[in-house]
A and B are shown apart, each in its own frame.
Chain A
């Protein structure tokens, strides 16, 4: 059977449907395909649109590593498997094959922004392609910093930006990858809400969302508010959620993204969850201490048949905090960098 030869644009059409995790092997077919998957921005855009989205939950372990979680609903006893860590090598370390110790991670569209304790750098990492971009903070660094990652979803160029927050109430700064430059946002009006900038935030279509409580109100008038930072306008916005989202006290609540179209709010202390639209699985993870009789981290899996299955999560977390589940969607996305040539760092 000799197959008819397809012109380049039709081959590309086919390749744009290949799920994001498959290109690893396809890249070694020939140089042209390798370039396509690695460097071709136009193709990446097409691929992001066409290829079926896969959901790959990740978790951050107490060993400061990112590990994929596989949920298996088939067979008689569904299971949860925490797989081997995905390697992120630290290029500045003096050891051979040294891993970067990740203590915080923020996910935006297939990219992970990771920081490490007492380390004055952050890294934006695509775990699927392995491409990393390291940013040295130098004098900007202080120990209480956290970052979010986003882009202006109204512009046709996905121009990525990172924004810093810190406990010391210093001004937030925005870093633009395309120009390798920092800007202080001094006229930013922070919302009048009590919120934790450092946890429980999510990215959706380039913008970041948190839950907060309006400081200006008092019980029983407290409302949970959805706070958004728009990377396009570089402003905060917020909307109070309607009742019954009332609380009398406030503890860290949880927010998660459902697929990449909708935002789902689950308000409960120390509970993190994610929803896999494709496999129709709802993963609900609560940490120990929530109920006195439990001293383990457990995961509830709800499949399509609406049955609850309780599994032991089996992963210890940093500082014994609630497990962090990242609703990661593998993607070929690359960040456009300042300058013409892009180097791959390891």
Chain B
């Protein structure tokens, strides 16, 4: 496998040089590379430098993604542990930005992981807290809200 370098430019002008193997994790780039002349930098209009650097950091760790049947439990555990630490350091705003960027770049692995992280974060929150996070308006009338509360009251209690 050739170790071609690909040059990426973020929306705010930062440049990143990465291995082709890493760049191929971003499906949008795979398409762009096919149209691109060799050597030219690929502009990523929708991603700022700070977010792009985080995404590249994650992509580099996951370049050799172990398959489901891989027997190397140790390696999987280490990767999971690295992933957890990676997310822990990030605030919710950054994670949201990562989700938007990973979606734009078509980087399935990170999109799933970041979405799972947010899902775990909100699963125990109250409706008010969740509304604030997603900037959602409560369009229930008090009667409707009461009805939903009743509906849920007699299913599983946690």
Tell me the complex Cα distance, A31–B147, Å: 12
B133 an interface residue at 8 Å Cβ cutoff? Answer: yes
The answer to whether A28 and B97 touch (CB under 8 A), given A86-B156, A129-B155, is: no
Tell me the complex Cα distance, A289–B12, Å: 75
Task: Bin chain B's interface residue count.
Answer: 35 or more
Secondary structure class of chain A's binding surface, majority of residues:
loop
A166 an interface residue at 8 Å Cβ cutoff? Answer: no
- Which stretch of B37-45, B53-61, B134-142 is in the interface? B134-142
A residues contacting the other copy or chain, number (CB 8 A):
42
A13 an interface residue at 8 Å Cβ cutoff? Answer: yes
Interface centre among B111, B148, B149 (most CB of A within 10 A): B148
Choose from A3, A15, A32, A129 the contact partner of B119 (Cβ within 8 Å).
A15
A84 an interface residue at 8 Å Cβ cutoff? Answer: yes
B14 an interface residue at 8 Å Cβ cutoff? Answer: no
**B93–A3 contact, CB under 8 A?**
yes
**A10–B99 contact, CB under 8 A?**
yes
Sample (24) of A-B pairs whose CB atoms are under 8 Å apart: A3-B92, A6-B96, A10-B103, A10-B115, A11-B134, A13-B115, A14-B99, A14-B122, A16-B115, A19-B119, A21-B156, A24-B156, A25-B126, A25-B127, A26-B130, A28-B145, A30-B131, A30-B140, A56-B156, A86-B154, A87-B155, A130-B151, A130-B152, A130-B155
Query: Which positions in B face A, CB cutoff 8 Å?
Result: 91-93, 96-97, 99-100, 103, 111-112, 115-116, 118-120, 122-127, 130-131, 133-140, 144-145, 148-149, 151-152, 154-158
Query: Which positions in A face B, CB cutoff 8 Å?
Result: 1-6, 10-11, 13-19, 21-22, 24-34, 50-51, 56, 68, 83-84, 86-87, 89, 127-130, 330
